[in-house]
Chains A and B, each alone.
Chain A
Amino acid sequence: MDNLMCLGYAVAGYIRYWLLNSDYKQTIGDRVEISSPLNSWRKVTEGAYLYSEGINPYLGENFHETPLGLFVFHKMISNIPQLTGFIFIVCDLITAHVLYHTAQLFMSELFSRQMREKEKYAKDAETLLLKQSDLVLPPVYVASAYLFNPYIIFSCISQTTTVFANLCLAFTFLLMIKGKRLACCSVLALATLQSLYPVILLVPASIYIAKAESRRSLRCSSFILTAVTFITALHLLLYISLKLAGGWEFLHATHGFILNVPDLQPNVGLFWYFFTEMFENFRLLFICAFQINATVLYLIPLTLRFHGEPMLLATSLTALTAIFKSYPTLGDVGFYLALLPMWKHLFKYMQQGFVVGCSFLSTSVMGPVVWHLWIYSRSANANFYFGVTLAFATAQIFLVTDILFAYIKREFSLFHGLHREVNGKTTKLVLE
Chain B
Amino acid sequence: MRGALYASVFISFIHLFFSVTCVPQNDYFDEELLLKPLPSGHVFAYFQFTTIWDLESEATFYQHYHLFPRALGEIVGWYNVQELHISLTAGLWRYEHWGYPVHDAAPGAEMWAWFKEDTKNVDTTWRELAGALSGLLCASLNSIDASNSLNPEFTFQLPGRVSSRAVNSSYLRYATLPREIVCTENLTPWKKLLPCDAKKGLSTLLNAGHIYNTNYHSLGIHLRPVCRDSNCSQISVELRQTLSLVYDMVILGIGNQDFSIKKLFGIGLSGACPLATMSNIYIDTTLNETGASFKLSPPPPAVIASSRGGYESKFAVYDVKALGIDGMFNIAAFYSSPRVHGVNLPPVLYANRYIIGYGQEYGGIVTKVYNGLWKPLDVVYLENIPWFIPLYLHTLKIVANGKEIKPLLKRYIPGKARTRPYYLEVALRLPARSTTEIYIEFDYVFLKWQEYPPDANHGFYIGAAIITALLPVGRNYTGLPQDGSTISSSFNASRDGYLVQIRTETLIITMPTPDFSMPYNVICLACTVVALAFGPLHNMTTKRLRLKDEGGQNHLISLLKSAFKRSSEKKEKRS
Contacts and interface: CB of A to CB of B under 8 A. Distances in A.
Contact of B540 (A49, A408, A428): A408
A272 B445 CA distance: 12
B544 A432 contact: yes
Contacts of A400: 533
A61 B390 contact: yes
A429 interface: yes
B522 interface: yes
A270 B529 contact: yes
Interface in A345-392: 374-376, 378, 381-383, 386, 390
B414 A55 contact: yes
B537 A30 contact: no
Interface string A272-289: 111111111000000000
A298 B539 CA distance: 12
Interface stretch (A152-160, A167-175, A259-267): A259-267
A168 to B, nearest CB: 25
Contact of A382 (B514, B532, B537): B514
Given A390-B529, A409-B545, A30 B361 contact: yes
Contacts of B547: 416, 420, 422, 427-430
B548 A427 contact: yes
A430 B412 contact: no
B539 A431 contact: yes
A278 B550 contact: no
Interface string B130-145: 0000000000000000
A432 B546 CA distance: 7
A276 B360 contact: no
Which of A62, A278, A401 gathers most chain B CB within 10 Å?
A: A62
Contacts of B543: 431-432
A265 B446 contact: yes
Given A264-B446, A382-B514, A277 B546 contact: no
B541 A302 contact: yes
Interface in B509-533: 512-515, 518-519, 522-523, 525-526, 529-530, 532-533
B392 interface: yes
B393 interface: yes
A106 interface: no
Interface stretch (B253-261, B269-277, B447-455, B475-483): B447-455
Interface in B410-462: 410, 412-417, 422, 445-450
Interface size range on A against B: 35 or more
A403 to B, nearest CB: 11
Contact of A374 (B417, B445, B450, B512): B512
B542 interface: yes
A278 B523 contact: yes
Given A278-B448, A323-B533, A61 B515 contact: no
A320 B514 CA distance: 27
Contact of A277 (B412, B417, B523): B523
B518 A62 contact: no
Contact of B518 (A30, A280, A383): A383
B414 A60 contact: yes
A297 B415 CA distance: 35
A293 B530 CA distance: 8
A276 B417 contact: no
Contacts of A409: 545
B414 A274 contact: no
A309 B385 CA distance: 54
A431 B390 CA distance: 51
Interface residues of B, number: 55
A376 B529 contact: no
A96 interface: no
B538 to A, nearest CB: 7
Contact of B537 (A262, A275, A301, A381): A301
B545 A386 contact: no
Contact of B414 (A59, A323, A398, A425): A59
Given A401-B536, A427-B549, A55 B450 contact: no
B415 A60 contact: yes
A309 to B, nearest CB: 13
B533 A273 contact: no
A50 B414 contact: yes
A304 interface: yes
A375 B533 contact: no
B176 to A, nearest CB: 21
A149 interface: no
A427 B393 CA distance: 67
A45 interface: yes
Nearest to A409: B545
Contact of B394 (A45, A320, A432): A45
Contacts of B538: 301
A431 B362 CA distance: 50
A273 B545 contact: no
A141 to B, nearest CB: 25
A242 interface: no
A275 B519 CA distance: 9
Nearest to B413: A59
Nearest to B395: A46
A425 B523 contact: no
Contacts of B529: 270, 390, 393-394, 397
Contacts of A57: 414
A45 to B, nearest CB: 5
B530 A280 contact: no
A429 B543 CA distance: 12
Given A42-B392, A277-B449, A397 B532 contact: yes
Contacts of A408: 540, 545
Contacts of B549: 422, 425, 427
A401 B447 CA distance: 34
A117 interface: no
Which of A30, A55, A378, A382 gathers most chain B CB within 10 Å?
A: A382
B533 A320 contact: yes
Which of B362, B394, B538 gathers most chain A CB within 10 Å?
A: B394
A59 B391 CA distance: 13
Contacts of A401: 533, 536-537, 540
Contacts of A425: 549-550
A62 B513 contact: no
Given A375-B359, A408-B545, A276 B449 contact: yes
A197 interface: no
Contacts of B393: 46, 49-50, 53, 55
A412 interface: yes
A280 B537 contact: no
A375 B511 CA distance: 9
Contacts of A390: 525-526, 529
Given A262-B417, A265-B445, A375-B512, A397 B533 contact: yes
B545 A430 contact: yes
Contacts of B447: 264, 276
Contacts of A378: 360
Nearest to A273: B522
B358 interface: yes
23 contacts: A46-B394, A62-B391, A262-B417, A264-B446, A264-B448, A270-B529, A270-B530, A273-B514, A276-B447, A277-B519, A302-B537, A304-B541, A375-B361, A376-B359, A376-B360, A390-B529, A412-B545, A427-B548, A429-B547, A429-B548, A430-B545, A431-B544, A432-B548
Chain A to chain B: the 5 pairs with minimum beta-carbon distance, closest first = A60-B414, A49-B394, A301-B541, A376-B359, A401-B536
Given A398-B532, A427-B550, 5 more contacts: A264-B447, A270-B529, A374-B512, A375-B361, A429-B546
Interface of B: 358-362, 387, 390-394, 410, 412-417, 422, 445-450, 512-515, 518-519, 522-523, 525-526, 529-530, 532-534, 536-550
Interface of A: 30, 42, 45-46, 49-50, 53, 55, 57, 59-62, 262-266, 270, 272-280, 290, 293, 297-298, 301-302, 304-305, 320, 323-324, 374-376, 378, 381-383, 386, 390, 393-394, 397-398, 400-401, 404-405, 408-409, 412, 416, 420, 422, 425-432
